A and B are shown apart, each in its own frame.
Chain A
């Protein structure tokens, strides 16, 4: 019988070391070569995070950022078999562990959400839109939206600003619409008001602009001619941007 640990035990020790850097005993393993694996994996994870989160990474002191990535990879068991989804696990881990407070970066989860959404919308599987026609009545015909979008809400305007002091001053309710352009596949993002965010949610549920406007007073919103005009101007513009595809036939 062998006096050595069995294979699963050896694999556990090898990978634990690669993830945490904590010393381990592995008979027959050259320490410098084990270090090589640890470093190769660390670099890969760090590169993946830095290319997914360039703004976040650039706005956090390097050692703090590296510590965050290291902690994440050591403590979290990454479940995605696709490397490009690894940054989503980082974002989720940051939220679950309340990193906004832990690292004293109150806008951290907003920033990660914003950067991740761009990757997600760019890569997301194709979704066939509902049938639509290009003419209709803006107020009365239900609109058909580009289904490849995300509507995000933030506490800090991370889509406009990355400097800490300015972000902290502008705490509030911010909304960003990201959608994928059907022709080019590029992702566009548009900062929008809370009202327009509400309109988009309702439009996506098939409600007409007229019905949304009629419901608005129940939300404490005063419907003026200007609001109606601005809403329609936004939607016309979003048709140019290929977010509004057209009208239900």
Chain B
């Protein structure tokens, strides 16, 4: 299953399904909750056509403050209403001092943060009555770390029982920006917990820095890392994220096709077993 992030810019094309044919769609519930009118109709049309996965933005699971109960209540009813198969979020925070910052901020890799986050994930999972798939975010600086990123993630996953959303492009970017080996990092993750994969484009803005833009085609070395990665895991849904600098649909379709071909080759054995 290779899906595409649903965006207003190409909603018509996805609904008509003539130029682009993802196996499923993904969107952020925050962008579609409490909405009526034109976009509500469009959402209903696209949801009738494709299976839906949701990828949240505002849960801010690493925040010092308590989760927003009202927000969670809406998320729960939204996930039920649209029969959402996977709800994913980020190993990150975007809110502090009760103020939203609308960006995914890096958690300090520290034991107190890992314990806090694991507790929060459990709390949300219990409330929603479903596991969360937590994405390893791209980040541009560590914040006063006391442990390695991999130990931090493993600790959170193990203690909370959550699943992982492996964004291969994020790992590629982080490995470049923080000078580590992407394959070695992936090998050390609890790979049996990977429930979902993201793929996206990036941009190198200086000799030392790559930005996670979601505004470019997937880079070749990220395809290579993807191919290597999926050999290590069981088949899971794969999503192409394209949020900016939207190209013509055939270009996006070509990326979907390339991803599908790789999945088919690497997961052939699983398909036969299944």
Residues of chain A at the chain B interface (Cβ within 8 Å) = 2, 4-8, 10-12, 14-16, 18-19, 26-30, 33-34, 36-37, 40-41, 44-45, 76-84, 86, 122-127, 148, 180, 184-186
Contact = CB atoms under 8 A, between A and B. Distances in A.
B96 A11 contact: yes
Given A7-B116, A33-B141, A44 B99 contact: no
A125 B35 CA distance: 5
- Across chains A and B, which 4 residue pairs bring their CB atoms closest together, nearest first? A185-B38, A77-B99, A33-B141, A126-B36
B15 interface: no
A79 B30 CA distance: 13
B37 interface: yes
A41 B102 contact: yes
Interface string B29-54: 01101111111110000000000000
27 contacts: A4-B146, A7-B110, A7-B116, A11-B63, A11-B64, A11-B108, A15-B96, A19-B101, A28-B141, A28-B142, A36-B140, A37-B105, A41-B103, A44-B103, A45-B102, A77-B98, A78-B99, A78-B100, A79-B99, A81-B68, A82-B30, A82-B34, A86-B102, A125-B34, A126-B37, A126-B40, A180-B37
A79 B103 contact: no
A6 B30 CA distance: 30
A185 B64 CA distance: 40
B30 A81 contact: yes
Contacts of A44: 102-103
Contact of B108 (A7, A16, A40): A7
Given A15-B99, A37-B140, A122 B108 contact: no
Interface in B87-141: 93, 96-103, 105, 107-108, 110, 112-113, 116, 140-141
A124 B140 CA distance: 37
A123 B97 CA distance: 28
Contacts of B33: 82
Nearest to A29: B141
Given A28-B143, A83-B102, 10 more contacts: A7-B64, A7-B116, A11-B105, A14-B143, A19-B101, A26-B144, A37-B105, A82-B33, A125-B35, A184-B38
Contacts of A37: 103, 105, 140-141
Contacts of A15: 96-97, 99, 101, 105
Contacts of B71: 81
Interface residues of B, number: 40
A95 to B, nearest CB: 19
Nearest to B64: A8
A123 B35 contact: yes
Contacts, number: 124
Contacts of B144: 4-5, 10, 26-29
Contacts of B36: 123-127, 148
B146 A122 contact: no
B145 interface: yes
A189 to B, nearest CB: 15
Contacts of A2: 110, 146
Contacts of A8: 64
B169 interface: no
Contacts of A40: 103
A40 B142 CA distance: 17
A6 B36 CA distance: 43
B103 to A, nearest CB: 5
Interface in B202-244: none
A97 B129 CA distance: 43
B143 A29 contact: yes
Interface string B64-90: 100010010000000000000000000
A148 B143 CA distance: 47
B143 A123 contact: no
Contacts of A36: 140-141
A53 to B, nearest CB: 17
Contacts of A19: 99, 101
B163 interface: no
B93 A124 contact: no
A2 B102 CA distance: 30
Contacts of B99: 15, 19, 76-79
Contacts of A30: 140-141
